[in-house]
Amino acid sequence: MDKKTKIQGIREIFDTIYKDATCTLHYETPFQLLVATQLAAQCTDARVNIVAPALFAKYPDPEAFAGADILELEEMIRSTGFFRNKARNLKACGEALCVRHGGVVPDTMEELLALPGVGRKTANLVLGDAFGKPGIVVDTHAGRIARRLGLTKNQNPTKVEFDLLKIVPKEYQSRFCHQLVMHGREVCRAMSPKCENCPIAAYCNDVSKG
């Protein structure tokens, strides 16, 4: 079975069982999603969602982050881990948005990647969820499941992203990534995956190998 056919089969199943799959980070604006995604690095979305309301109440826009006291910002996001580096990047990101983009989050990959603290994973999530543009978000779930399904052999997230871009239809890319996250949390876990209950086991290379 070729990979595009495999994706189509998986899509039909996922669109039934994970039809409501969306980003689990809470946000109201593209900027809030940009900040929340940076905070989610090496941290759970649930923890970020706990921290975010107070954070955005104090720092509602790029201008506020640009003018933030770095020690106060660090303290507010301490529980998300790597708080010093994240605080430095968020302050610098706010400054860059103000200087380069008039305080507005850009909607192109090139411009997003030029912002402090923004990598391809963050940029793709913002493009897909805030702006409705195609993009493959490769987190640990997406990378792991893509390898198990035989959709890629790569470990590097960027290489996995480009492998998936070749076979996943543009209009399905963002939703597919959210579905992979749900599938990874509920069934295809890193340790002790529930292969016997997997709805897409027929498409899995790991299962077919016995």
Nearest 5°: the CA angle 109, 79, 117 is 20
The pair of structure tokens assigned to 22 is: 């969306």
Q: Which residues are catalytic?
A: 121, 139
The C-alpha atoms of residue 97 and residue 167 are separated, in whole angstroms, by 34
Instruction: Kindly give, in sequence order, each residue whose CB lies less than 8 Å from that of residue 58, ignoring residues fewer than 6 positions away.
Output: 64, 76
The C-alpha atoms of residue 27 and residue 202 are separated, in whole angstroms, by 36
**48 with 40: CB under 8 angstroms?**
yes
